[in-house]
Amino acid sequence: MSASAIPTATLKAREERRIQRGHLWCYRNEFMSLPDLEDGDIFDVYSSGRRFVARAFYQAEGGICGRVLSYHQTEINRSFWKKCLQDALVLREHLFPRSVVYRWIHAESDGLPGLVADRYDSVVVLQSGCAFYRRHWQSLQEILLAVPGVSSLTFAFREERLEAGAAPEKQVLELNGLRLGFLPAGAQKTGLFLDQRENWQLAERFAPGARVLDGCCYHGLWGLHAARGGALSVTGVDSSAAALAQAEENAGMNAFEGRFTFIKEKVEKHLQECTDYDLIVLDPPAFAKSRKQQNAAFALYENLNSSAMQKLTPGGILISCSCSHFLDGALFDEMLKRAARSTARQVQLLMMRGASPDHPVLTAMPETSYLKCAVLRVL
């Protein structure tokens, strides 16, 4: 599309300032008016003084109507896609030079807002709800499949699943020195929740001689690290039978099966009935998926953490996580304080961690920081 053919939209007075500071979302109520655009169309954003601000793609639904792709009138072509993907790849190869498992594209933080892509050796799993990426799927395919070592792609777009290349039925991966089975077609979201890859090793540090609960264990990565660290026993609890089957297989692949017990039930129920543990990991799915759910999610997190604190032996360790965007760091801290008060036990915060560095945070967009991982000692 030529520059002259690209539609333009004009912001209200002074609404360009946040965008110019590096925030990549344009809200619908910030515009004087919008041209007639189809979902996924590219358009140029101008200030009320008619100065160019950014090039974005249009979203037909929701409060965010534009996601910024460039602060220049860059042509969105093969060269654009190739540069974004290559720049992101260089960072991951620097971060993990001996690994082919990583978050390759982390949405806004890698200049492709609304798109995430994880690499699992020869397989790349992508996810987006933005029609823009569905429209450019062919370009993404061509560039990704040309990268040495990549042979198949899976793209989850809303309710649609698109595939390209020859996908293996099952892979055996190595991550943090552990062997893992991976089913590209059956993974939740983009796969293994790689944002925790460096935090999993915390379980290893506190595991020697410990009885461990891996709550919401999914494929058992927290528990596997604890077992390698010398845990006496590991109980993996999850409500998904498929996830538990993979976790059990992973334990066997690393010769830890004798120390694992797997239980299919909600971790909240397990904590009401179980005996005490020395180390508990809570890594639940997001309880708050919108701002309206924030208060209810806060209460759920508080009750869950309070139950875990009560089931820890004196001096026991709680690793508590939240991936809810709408429960920010300050609210997470307050939730932990209230949970501790409700147990009438002293609780020490040893450290607070975020996501692995292949999930970078864009400093101009606090929304790109979402994962909280607290390590607490309960006296």
Over residues 205-224, mean pLDDT = 97
| DSSP string of 118-174, one letter each residue | EEETTEEEEEE--HHHHHTHHHHHHHHHTSTT--EEEEEETTEEEEEE---S-EEEE
Over residues 352-376, mean pLDDT = 96
Cα 259 from Cα 256, distance rounded (Å):
6
84 is catalytic: no
Cα 187 from Cα 199, distance rounded (Å):
20
User: In whole numbers, what is the pLDDT of the chain averaged over residues?
Assistant: 94
Which residue, among 6, 9, 3, 2, has the nearest Cα to 28 in the 3D structure? 9
pLDDT, position 5: 87
What digits encode the pLDDT tens for the residues 169-198?
Answer: 889 999 999 999 988 776 666 679 999 999
**Other beta carbons within 10 Å of 7:** 14
pLDDT, position 324: 87
pLDDT at 4 over 60: no
pTM: 0.94
pLDDT at 2 over 60: no
Residue 92, helix vs strand vs coil: helix
Over residues 33-52, mean pLDDT = 96
What digits encode the pLDDT tens for the residues 269-307?
Answer: 999 999 999 999 999 988 877 778 888 889 999 999 999
Greater confidence, 1 or 372? Answer: 372
pLDDT at 266 over 70: yes
Going by pLDDT thresholds of 50, 70 and 90, the confidence category of residue 75 is: very high
Share of the chain above pLDDT 90, in %: 89
pLDDT at 168 over 90: no
Listed in sequence order, the residues at least 6 apart from 124 whose beta carbon sits closer than 8 Å to its beta carbon are 104, 117, 118, 144, 150, 152, 153, 154
Greater confidence, 189 or 42? Answer: 42
Over residues 249-265, mean pLDDT = 96
pLDDT at 370 over 60: yes
Over residues 107-118, mean pLDDT = 97
Helices 329-343 and 294-310 pack at an angle, to 10 degrees, of 40
Listed in sequence order, the residues at least 6 apart from 309 whose beta carbon sits closer than 8 Å to its beta carbon are 318, 339, 340, 343, 345, 347, 376, 378
Name the burial class of residue 214, with classes exposed (0-12), middle (13-18) and buried (19+) by CB atoms within 10 angstroms of its CB.
buried
What digits encode the pLDDT tens for the residues 313-359?
Answer: 999 999 999 998 888 999 999 999 999 999 999 999 999 999 999 99
List the catalytic residue out of 84, 217, 323, 373.
Answer: 323
Q: In angstroms, how far is CA 97 from the centroid of its own chain?
A: 21
pLDDT at 44 over 80: yes
pLDDT, position 164: 94
pLDDT at 230 over 90: yes
What digits encode the pLDDT tens for the residues 116-135?
Answer: 999 999 999 999 999 999 99
The owner of tokens 């606090």 is: 366
